[in-house]
């Protein structure tokens, strides 16, 4: 394992015996050597069913939101069907980032949407009218909404 991962035998022994806390780069090296995802080392919890909303083609479940120095961020797990959903423009400065995890998705500004398959990401300004549509079969994705500073948010002061 030490040879395949590039992590020293002593470090591996200390990790195994709980005498050392692993850094992220160490965990990536070990899981790569094992042919396993990072979650094999750190664990993963199934997403809980947070608040959800439904549109014509999109079902979104909130995974959370938080304030950053650059604005407010919301993250959703979305399922999109093959019906086209038209979404109106959001506030000025809002950006959307969609990472497809299953299927193929078309999304983006009207007249200039992008297509992404599993493992690919689409980014576009959310302050223009835009669409969402799965290609051929329902698609699953993670949607991140980036709001600029000054937008009234649930955690705004």
pLDDT band at 12 (very low <50, low <70, confident <90, very high): confident
Extents of the domains making up the chain: 2-42, 52-147
- Can you tell me which residue has the tokens 């050392």? 20
pLDDT score of 48: 66
Residue 26, phi then psi, degrees to nearest 5: -65, -45
pLDDT (tens digit, 9 = 90+) per residue, 47-104?
Answer: 666 778 888 999 999 998 999 999 999 999 999 999 999 999 999 999 999 999 999 9
Q: Identify which has the larger pLDDT, 41 or 61.
A: 61
Q: How far is CA 49 from CA 61, 64, 74, 98, 140, in A?
A: 7, 11, 15, 19, 15
Residue range 52-147, CATH number: 2.60.120.10
pTM of the entire predicted model: 0.78
| Full DSSP string of 69-109 | TTEEEEEEEEEE-SS-EEE---STT-EEEEEEEESEEEEEE
pLDDT (tens digit, 9 = 90+) per residue, 93-110?
Answer: 999 999 999 999 999 999
């Amino acid at each position: 394992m030490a040879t395949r991962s590039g992590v020293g035998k002593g470090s591996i022994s200390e990790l195994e015996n709980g005498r050392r806390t692993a850094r992220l780069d160490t965990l990536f090296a070990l899981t790569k050597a094992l042919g396993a995802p990072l979650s094999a080392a750190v664990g993963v919890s199934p997403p809980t069913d947070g608040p959800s909303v439904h549109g014509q083609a999109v079902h979104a479940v909130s995974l959370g939101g938080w304030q950053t120095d650059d604005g407010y961020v919301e993250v959703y797990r979305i399922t999109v069907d093959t019906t086209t959903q038209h979404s109106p423009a959001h506030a000025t400065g809002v950006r959307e980032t969609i990472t497809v995890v299953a299927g193929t998705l078309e999304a983006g500004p009207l007249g200039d949407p992008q297509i992404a398959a599993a493992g690919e990401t689409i980014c576009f300004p959310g302050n223009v009218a835009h669409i969402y549509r799965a290609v051929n079969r329902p698609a699953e994705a993670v949607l991140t909404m980036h709001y600029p500073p000054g937008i009234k948010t649930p955690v705004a002061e």
